[in-house]
Amino acid sequence: MDRSLRRRLEARFGDRLTGPVRQRHDQTEIRIRPADVPEVMRELHDDPTLGFEILADLAGVDTGTHMQVVFHLWSATTPDWLRVVADGMPRDDPRIPTLTGLWPGAEWMERETYDMFGIIFEGNRDLRRIYMPPDYTSFPLRKDFYLADDAARSPGGGVRHMEQTHAPTQATPSVVRRTVKA
């Protein structure tokens, strides 16, 4: 755990953090608003004392109440990986600025996240389906997506069409994962 990284992040981004800086083993996590993504990520990338030059991964998250985008960054200036969570996007129209200007390789990761979660990366020059057919209307990794043979449902519940979405049940801010009750 790099405690000096924590101090640098708190000093640099304190007013833009939406929660405490968290550290566990070799990972440090910060949470920011989606609107702050371009500015915070540019500083993390360009500042030589931080130097997060590698975007290793980008992923979407559907919490059931809102959407998130999680970025994993690496820097030679610290032994810790940095996880940046852009938190609080509405489920009905999740949007976040693209990072292809800083990391051109983010284009494919943003396309995958769009395809699976429906998160729109504003400014991505090629935001289109990467796995699913172009005319597909659902987003398979959202919590409201059900397969036609959803084993979690009772046999008498019938079959739902794969493209039909339903609102998540019992979605409250404190519920991260939906559990099925027998």
Domain parsing of the chain, residue ranges: 3-122
Whether residue 56 has pLDDT greater than 60? yes
Whether residue 158 has pLDDT greater than 70? no
Predicted TM-score (pTM) of the model is: 0.78
Helix (H) or strand (E) holding 7: helix 3-13
Whether residue 62 has pLDDT greater than 90? yes
pLDDT band at 134 (very low <50, low <70, confident <90, very high): confident
Tokens of 40: 């915070």
Domain 3-122 CATH class label: alpha beta
pLDDT band at 135 (very low <50, low <70, confident <90, very high): confident
The torsion angles phi and psi of 62, rounded to 5 degrees, stand at: -110, 110
Contacts of 46 (CB under 8 A, 6+ apart): none
Whether residue 174 has pLDDT greater than 60? no
Tokens of 35: 């609107």
